[in-house]
C-alpha cells in the first residue's frame, strides 16, 4: 500500500480560519498551522495534498501555504453540508487509492523521531488496510471526539482491530460498547484527527449522503462504523499528542507544546516563571 496523497478538511464555518493561524515551530521558525500540517503529511511520504476550504478562502490559503503552495490543490465545499460531504468533495483528486486524512483544526507532536503521520502510514503499509490514529482519552472528553471499540491485535503493542465506532459517545454508551482491555479505568481510545483511509470509505460516504435523514449531516464516524463491517480496519495508538487549536485556549496550548519541545525551551520556561512571579495574578495576590 503506497500513500501518495493527503486530504485536509478546513471548511467548517467555525474552523475555516484555524489553518491560517501563525505559530512558532520547534526550531523557532514562524509558520502557519497549514504549513505545519503540510510538513506532517510530507514526512509520511505524501506527494500531493488537497485542502477542502470555504468559498472565498483560497487567496488567504495561498499565502498561508508559503513554499508548500505548489503541492496543494484547493477544493471548495460550496455549502456547509458537513464533514462527510467535505471529504467526498475530494473524490476526484484522491482517485482509487488510499490516502492520509488530517483535520484542519488539530496539530500533532510526536514523542519519537518519526512524526505521527509517519507512524500511522507505516502501519497502514505493513497491514495493507485502513488505520485510524487514536489516543487514550479521559471519559470527560468523550463529548469532543469519536471513539472506537475493538480488541488488541496479539503480539502488536498499541494496535487494535476496530469493531465499533461511535461519534461523541455518552459515558454509558462508552462503557457498554467501547471498553478495550488494557486501558486505564475511565479512559477510552478516541480519534487523534488522523487516518489512512481506503477508497471504500469514499464509496460508503457516497451511499450515506445519497440517503441522509432530513436535516442530518453525515460524519466520517458513520462511514468508519460501516467500514469495520466490510474490511479489515485497525487503530494505532500513536506515540504523540494531538492539540485541538479550535478549543478554548487551544492555540495557546499548542504553541506552548511546540515551544517546550523545541530549541527555545529554556527561554520559554524562564519567561513563564517570570510571568507567574510578576504578572497580574501575582500582583493581585500581594494586595489581597
Residue pLDDT, tens place only, 172-204: 999 989 999 888 888 999 999 999 999 999 999
- Nearest Cα to 64, choosing from 43, 98, 38? 38
- Give the predicted TM-score (pTM) of the model: 0.92
Give the integer Cα–Cα distance in Å for 53 and 16: 7
Give dist(CA 102, CA 180) in Å, integer: 25
Contacts of 123 (CB under 8 A, 6+ apart): 131, 159, 196, 234, 236
The span from the CA of 49 to the CA of 19, in Å, is 14
pLDDT digits (tens, 9 = 90+) for 225-271: 999 999 999 999 999 999 999 999 999 999 999 999 999 999 999 99
pLDDT of residue 45: 96
pLDDT surpasses 60 at 288: no
Question: Each residue of 10-50: pLDDT tens digit?
Answer: 999 989 999 999 999 999 999 999 999 999 999 999 999 99
Indicate the pLDDT class of residue 157, thresholds 50, 70 and 90. very high
**Considering only CA atoms, which of 240, 138, 227 is closest in space to residue 186?**
138
Pairwise CA distance, residues 33 & 17, whole Å? 10
Domains of the chain, each with CATH number or no CATH = 5-263 (3.90.550.10)
Say which residue, 247 or 217, is predicted with more confidence: 247
Amino acid at each position: 500500500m503506497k500513500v501518495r496523497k493527503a486530504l485536509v478538511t478546513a471548511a467548517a464555518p467555525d474552523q475555516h480560519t484555524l489553518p491560517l493561524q501563525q505559530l512558532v515551530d520547534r526550531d523557532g521558525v514562524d509558520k502557519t498551522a497549514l504549513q505545519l500540517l503540510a510538513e506532517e503529511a510530507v514526512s509520511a511520504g505524501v506527494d500531493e495534498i488537497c485542502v477542502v476550504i470555504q468559498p472565498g478562502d483560497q487567496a488567504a490559503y495561498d499565502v498561508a501555504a508559503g513554499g508548500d503552495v505548489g503541492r496543494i490543490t484547493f477544493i471548495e465545499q460550496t455549502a456547509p453540508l458537513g464533514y462527510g460531504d467535505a471529504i467526498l468533495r475530494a473524490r476526484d483528486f484522491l482517485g482509487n487509492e488510499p490516502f492520509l486524512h488530517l483535520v484542519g483544526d488539530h496539530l500533532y507532536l510526536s514523542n519519537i523521531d518519526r512524526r505521527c503521520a509517519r507512524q500511522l502510514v507505516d502501519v497502514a503499509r505493513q497491514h495493507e488496510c485502513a488505520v485510524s490514529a487514536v489516543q487514550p482519552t479521559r471519559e470527560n472528553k468523550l463529548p469532543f471526539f469519536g471513539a472506537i471499540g475493538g480488541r488488541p491485535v496479539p503480539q502488536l503493542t498499541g494496535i487494535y482491530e476496530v469493531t465499533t465506532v461511535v461519534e461523541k459517545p455518552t459515558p454509558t454508551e462508552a462503557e457498554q460498547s467501547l471498553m478495550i482491555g488494557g486501558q486505564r479505568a475511565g479512559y477510552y481510545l478516541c480519534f487523534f484527527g488522523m487516518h489512512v483511509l481506503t477508497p471504500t470509505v469514499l464509496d460508503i460516504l457516497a451511499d450515506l449522503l445519497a440517503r441522509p435523514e432530513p436535516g442530518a449531516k453525515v460524519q466520517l464516524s458513520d462511514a468508519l462504523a460501516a467500514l469495520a463491517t466490510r474490511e479489515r480496519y485497525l487503530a494505532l495508538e500513536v506515540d504523540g499528542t494531538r492539540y485541538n487549536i479550535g478549543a478554548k485556549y487551544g492555540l495557546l496550548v499548542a504553541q506552548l507544546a511546540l515551544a517546550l519541545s523545541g530549541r527555545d525551551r529554556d527561554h520559554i520556561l524562564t519567561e513563564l516563571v517570570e510571568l507567574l512571579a510578576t504578572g497580574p495574578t501575582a500582583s493581585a495576590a500581594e494586595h489581597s
